[in-house]
Homo-oligomer: A and B are copies of this chain.
Amino acid sequence: MTTIGDVAREAGVSRSTVSSVLTGRKFVAPGTRARVELAVEKLNFTVNSGARALATSRTMVIGVVVQLHGMEFSPALAPFVFALSDAARAASYDVLLMTESDAVGAIRRVAQTRRVDGLVLLNIVDDDPRLAALAAHDIPAVLLGMPRDSRGVDAVDLDFAHAARRLVEHLHERGHRDVLFARWSSAMFDAGHSFVWRFSDAAFACAQELGMRLRTFEVPVAPELIPAALAQALRDRGDATAVLVHDDAAAALMPSALHESGLRVPDDISVVSLFSAELARSFALPYTSVESDPGRVAAGSIDVLLRRIAAGKSAVSTVHTLLTPRMVDRGSVRDLTQRRSAPVR
């Protein structure tokens, strides 16, 4: 293994000088610098990250804590993990993937052994035990998600309330007044996944403001039950002219449900939802939707986390960021305004 000492010898300088050009934190005479760089090149030298970590107390590694309870829809979760990896790498950090069911133990472990400089927590729920673990070990962290009470931890998430409003308004603009709301199982509400009620509350509030009717259909937790149950709900939709879907699995299985119920989009029924472009691609979902944007949410999380790491103990106030989502119109909403206005004239 070639070390900083070998480089120093090759360049005819001291190890400190080599270190100075490596870290770039000190001015080094151009000539000296050049000699060092040449030696580095020649010996194909790279700093030993463990040694550097020991000397600097910085690992340049971020831990990503994801918990798979089984209620999550993993095809929708994975893109966030990959996006976090990309965002971290763009900032010269590596990502340690932590999937242990005992997340609290995992946090303790990496915090105490100083394996990472900070943590990103995924699929956070209200009263998440991981939040207490964070506080106990006082390690920089950011939540990708927005619990009711973040316990002083920074958090970044999509603005689900805004997303709901965008979709309901979109339906309203096109003349829809009676909408089926296919939403996450109440088990998800009970488990404290706050994004479900943030979306739900806003959807109902917006519908009420606009004088629209929203009928709830609770999507089953088990994916294998979804197509049939959803098809049934669509058949029993009464005068509803559109369906608002907030449940990744239901969105993904919507094509099956539609076929099963024999309905065509947007002629027989309009559809709007919320999912990522990647899910749309993987599942061939041709529905107008708000983009859940794993890339942007992940980048935002890493950004906040790095600031927190840099700020250190200087307790700046907690940062909560809600990213305003954008909508992708895929033409799955029929315009009813002409038909509606006709009888009035």
Contacts and interface: CB of A to CB of B under 8 A. Distances in A.
Contact of A73 (B61, B68, B256, B282): B282
Contacts of A51: 54
Contacts of A64: 97
Given A46-B109, A74-B282, A97 B99 contact: no
Nearest to A223: B284
A186 to B, nearest CB: 20
Interface stretch (A80-88, A149-157, A235-243, A312-320): A80-88
A223 B89 contact: no
Given A54-B50, A223-B283, A284-B224, A85 B97 contact: yes
Interface stretch (A9-17, A110-118, A169-177): A110-118
Given A79-B74, A81-B97, A82-B68, A281 B224 contact: yes
A121 interface: no
Interface stretch (A31-39, A188-196, A247-255): A247-255
A133 interface: no
A110 B48 CA distance: 10
Contacts of A74: 75, 78-79, 82, 278, 282
Interface in A170-207: none
A41 interface: no
A115 B49 contact: yes
A61 B96 contact: yes
A326 interface: no
- Number of copies of this protein chain within its complex: 2
Contacts of A249: 282
A94 B116 CA distance: 11
A284 B48 contact: no
Interface residues of A, number: 55
A48 B112 CA distance: 7
Interface in A50-75: 50-51, 53-54, 59, 61, 64, 68, 73-75
A97 B65 CA distance: 12
A44 to B, nearest CB: 8
Contact of A282 (B1, B47, B96, B223): B223
Contacts of A223: 281-284
Nearest to A249: B282
B75 A284 contact: no
B46 A112 contact: yes
A113 to B, nearest CB: 4
A267 interface: no
Given A48-B114, A113-B47, A284 B227 contact: yes
Contacts of A82: 68, 74, 99
A275 B1 CA distance: 44
Given A61-B96, A255-B259, 9 more contacts: A46-B109, A50-B54, A68-B82, A86-B99, A89-B100, A224-B284, A225-B284, A227-B255, A252-B282
16 contacts: A48-B113, A50-B53, A50-B54, A54-B54, A61-B96, A75-B75, A75-B282, A81-B97, A85-B99, A94-B98, A96-B96, A96-B97, A224-B284, A249-B282, A253-B255, A259-B260
